[in-house]
Amino acid sequence: MPAFLPSELPVLARAQHHWIVLLRRPHKILTAALLLLLVAAVFAPNPMAWLFALVLGAVGFLRWQTWRAEWIIVTRRRIIRVRGVPETTKSEASLRLDRISGAVLEQSVLGKILNYGSIELEAPGQHPDVRILETVARPHAFYLEVRKAVFGTAADLDPDDQPQDYATAPLPRIRPPGPP
């Protein structure tokens, strides 16, 4: 987890990518290497089948580790996206909440069935790692937490920031025409 500043705490929400990302198509070179190993395992099953299973297991384990280490965290001040395996490589990207002007939640039919979706944050400037959050697990709950953190609720707002309801004087009565 990233280091938080005291002014950012507490953590308001956390989200992870949906497990469906584990089924993404691997890189073309990796796919070609796995197909080559599979063909070799078919023609020489004794040594190559073990090598194919070992490489496939290593690729699956690395993908699972990467998926498990990716988090999207909402604090009081910013949204942070943490990527990479913590023991080897790690990257963090963040976006201040006061820069966000809107948020869009999108879900496909499969996303509604499996409960994942994409959230696009509207903010000025370039924030490629944080602006589009794809395949977020349980997107409705996370989207509501983001909206609550960005826009607040009526109880969270400062009374001076709320719109004032100004009382106006009643309109004067208009007398019907005729003798005074």
Which is more confidently placed, 155 or 80? 80
Residue 122: strand pairing partners: 102
Element (H, E) at 39: helix 28-43
Tell me the two tokens of residue 34. Answer: 């796995």
Tell me what the mean pLDDT of segment 21-42 comes to.
80
Which is more confidently placed, 28 or 5? 28
Is residue 107's pLDDT more than 80? yes
Top mean-pLDDT range of 53-57, 89-93, 139-143: 139-143
Instruction: Give SS3 for 98.
Output: helix
Residue 81: strand pairing partners: 72, 93
pLDDT (0 to 100) of residue 94: 86
Least confident of 46-50, 79-83, 94-98, 140-144: 46-50
Ramachandran region, residue 45 (left: φ > 0; alpha: ψ -120 to 50; beta: rest)? alpha
Distance CA 53, CA 30 (A): 14
Domain ranges across the chain: 18-151
Residue 112's pLDDT band (cuts 50, 70, 90): very high
Q: Which fold has domain 18-151?
A: PH-domain like (2.30.29)
pLDDT digits (tens, 9 = 90+) for 39-81: 777 777 777 777 777 888 888 888 888 888 888 999 988 898 8
